[in-house]
Chain A
């Protein structure tokens, strides 16, 4: 089955800095890669996703890049703000009727 590795497990940055979280996946058939943000006391919420026919996707201050050859994808957050502080999960899914496999999560702390 699919295996997703996520690094780092914790990341501390100053407000205004950029943050990068990286994930690798094992199943070359996977074609859907979402990122979820989990705030304290809440369930994970989708913030951005990318499909394998695209190399990069951007939504305001967040972007995701995908390298299919190397089987890794990354989340980039620019101009970080304290409200970006949360746990972030990457995930991968093969095509068809299959399940998401999640990374172990990254706790991002943005200090004012």
Chain B
């Protein structure tokens, strides 16, 4: 089954404690992306990657890092989380030239 998986699904942490949210896809997609979803603001792109070892900033990259060492994985790293990063995060993937973007189930992060 074609899918994008994210872990963990729910995470409560404290300010400053480094965390990583994993994302993996089984569709051999070149393009992967991270979004955050906040009430009234819709889906805003954090970072994206066109292929292995190629990453670019999206609209709201501050406070986040990503890496793309393998085609299937695209982890999101928060080196020093702050309360304003409390949000619902989605990973997505698609083929490089376009077409349907497949979303993961989401990770709800709370930073206290």
Instruction: Mark A residues whose CB is within 8 Å of B.
Output: 6, 9, 32, 34, 36, 41-46, 49, 89, 93, 95-97, 99-100, 102-105
Contact = CB atoms under 8 A, between A and B. Distances in A.
A97 B42 contact: no
Interface of B: 4, 33, 35, 40-45, 48, 50, 58, 90, 92, 96-98, 100-101, 103-106
A32 B98 contact: yes
A42 B102 CA distance: 12
Given A44-B103, A45-B103, A99-B48, A93 B98 contact: yes
B79 to A, nearest CB: 24
Contacts of B33: 99
B10 to A, nearest CB: 11
A89 B100 contact: no
Given A6-B42, A9-B40, A105-B43, 19 more contacts: A36-B103, A42-B106, A43-B104, A43-B105, A43-B106, A44-B43, A46-B100, A46-B101, A49-B100, A93-B98, A97-B97, A99-B58, A100-B45, A102-B35, A102-B42, A102-B43, A102-B44, A104-B40, A104-B42
Give the dominant DSSP class at A's interface: loop
Given A32-B98, A43-B90, A89 B43 contact: yes
Nearest to A102: B43
A51 to B, nearest CB: 9
A26 to B, nearest CB: 14
Contacts of B92: 43
Nearest to A94: B98
A9 B100 CA distance: 24
B87 to A, nearest CB: 14
A104 B48 CA distance: 19
Contacts of A34: 100-101
A104 B39 CA distance: 9
